[in-house]
Amino acid sequence: MSGTVTMEKVVNLAKRRGFTFQSSEIYGGLASCWDYGPIGVELKRNVKEAWWRDMVRRRSDIVGIDCAILMHPRVWEASGHIAGFTDPLVDCKKCKQRFRADKLGDVPCPEKPSKHPGECGGELTEARQFNLMFKTFMGPVEEDAAVVFMRPETAQGIFVNFLNVLNSSRQKVPFGIAQVGKSFRNEITPGNFLFRTREFEQMEMEFFVKPGDDERWFQYWLDERFNWYVNLGIKRERLRLRPHATDELAHYAKGCADVEYEFPFGWSELEGIANRTDFDLKQHAEYSGKDISYFDEESKERFVPYVIEPAAGADRATLAFLVDAYDEDEAEGETRAVLRFHPRIAPVKVAVLPLLRKDGQPEKAKQVLDILKEQWVVQYDQAGSIGRRYRRQDEIGTPFGITIDHQTMQDDTVTLRDRDSMQQERIPIERLVDELRRRIEI
């Protein structure tokens, strides 16, 4: 019975139920910066945790790292960001707004009725290149020598630590280094809620391979990353892999494909998977003067590894999980939202609900709550009719509801309700943790 998902419905629900709030809202808000509320923070943590579990913890060939956001300015010279991390920018002489020259069709201009830039009769200036890195100063003096940048990607922290990780862990090529953390880009036209913001979190992994093995590994990571979203419940028909055309490829990349999701505003990139060759390690070797290469004990060869990079966005993925889970159904003549999250992604896993506010049921429910909160994020709710309480939970996507009723007080069993099938089963309290674990950790 699903109605059409629109961004407006998702954004409204997100605010009403505490997924996200506009940054600094009481001061009028800061454009395209978002804060995650009590439910949203759990959702985003689950997305990052699912990524870390599948990309690091469950594998023996990938290790993690957590680098400083501020890095030596030479890093960005070597990486090419100072010279080339730019977007073409145009100004409209009539409305005085700035737009990305290559995305004019995607954004409205402020002229009403809303038009695309250049269609309001205003003249657009020639495009000029605008560097997307945020600059700041390190230390008390604001001078050129003190300029540092807020990292625009997490990948470079991995490349500059390649030798450190190699020498301190027992990894051998092929192996990967993974990182989750904030990145900053002074985007010209941010928008579409969490999709494009100026401060966001990335989940990036650099996988180092022997040159010659790179194409096999590139294909491997395309499949792995596509399936990651499917396994966490994203509808396969709303996902696709789009290989980049040759003229879209970065000059150093041998191949690149995006995992795209069909958002209400159209097919858009969720994650990019690139074969970056040996470009980054060679650049850092040249700029730092260090020998950044790998000696293969087996073949007695020295080489600079090639790199396959799956680079995802935690906020974009969170948005995709939110949009994809959005559904509507009818209850008592009313249309209501239900978020059908995969149990691993759902922000709250279980709701504990005493049927009555008397006869010892609230006390019993709190005992159950205490057991479950050791394992998962759990909510207790005793306010209003049971139907209304289930609806509140369905709206934030809680997959399981536990009801404490008259029978519980006699035989220590509870009912366990499944959000999607709405089926209820009676289960002894002592079996609850095992049963929920079986259903959540799939």
Rule CB under 6 A: say whether 180 interacts with ligand ATP: no
Q: Which of 17, 44, 196, 344 binds ligand ATP (CB under 6 A)?
A: 196
Q: Which residue is nearest to ligand ATP (CB)?
A: 313
Rule CB under 6 A: say whether 206 interacts with ligand ATP: no
Contacts of ligand ATP in 119-158 (CB under 6 A)? 153
Q: Which of 49, 111, 187, 329 binds ligand ATP (CB under 6 A)?
A: 187
Q: Which of 49, 215, 262, 269 binds ligand ATP (CB under 6 A)?
A: 269
Q: Which two tokens stand for residue 237?
A: 């028909």
Rule CB under 6 A: say whether 343 interacts with ligand ATP: no
Rule CB under 6 A: say whether 280 interacts with ligand ATP: no
Element spanning 99, H or E: strand 98-100
**Site track for ligand ATP across 293-332, x = CB under 6 A:** ------------------xxx-xx----------------
Distance CA 69, CA 210 (A): 29
User: How many alpha carbons fall within 13 Å on the CB side of residue 126?
Assistant: 1
Smaller CB separation from ligand ATP, 120 or 155: 155
- Among 120, 133, 127, smallest CA distance to 99 is for 127
Distance CA 402, CA 340 (A): 18
Rule CB under 6 A: say whether 435 interacts with ligand ATP: no
Rule CB under 6 A: say whether 106 interacts with ligand ATP: no
Distance CA 192, CA 110 (A): 16
Amino acid at 83: A
Smaller CB separation from ligand ATP, 196 or 349: 196
Residue 282: CB minimum distance to ligand ATP, A: 20
Rule CB under 6 A: say whether 54 interacts with ligand ATP: no
Residue 202: CB minimum distance to ligand ATP, A: 5
Distance CA 167, CA 172 (A): 10
Which alpha helices (DSSP H) does 293-385 contain, by range? 314-325, 361-372
Rule CB under 6 A: say whether 419 interacts with ligand ATP: no
Residue 372: CB minimum distance to ligand ATP, A: 33
Rule CB under 6 A: say whether 260 interacts with ligand ATP: no
List residues bridging with 99 in a β-sheet: 90
Q: Which residue has the tokens 């995969």?
A: 342
Amino acid at 405: D
Cα Rg of the chain (Å, integer): 25
Straight-line distance from the first to the last Cα atom of the chain, in angstroms, rounded to the nearest whole number: 26
Distance CA 242, CA 256 (A): 9
Q: Are 361 and 411 in contact (CB under 8 A)?
A: no
Contacts of ligand ATP in 22-51 (CB under 6 A)? none
Smaller CB separation from ligand ATP, 270 or 402: 270
Q: Which of 185, 225, 364, 417 binds ligand ATP (CB under 6 A)?
A: 185
Distance CA 285, CA 292 (A): 5
* Peptide bond between residue 174 and the one before it cis (omega within 30 degrees of 0): yes
Smaller CB separation from ligand ATP, 175 or 261: 261
Rule CB under 6 A: say whether 176 interacts with ligand ATP: no
Distance CA 162, CA 281 (A): 8
Rule CB under 6 A: say whether 225 interacts with ligand ATP: no
Residue 312: CB minimum distance to ligand ATP, A: 5
Binding site for ligand ATP (CB under 6 A): 153, 185, 187, 196-197, 200, 202, 269-272, 311-313, 315-316
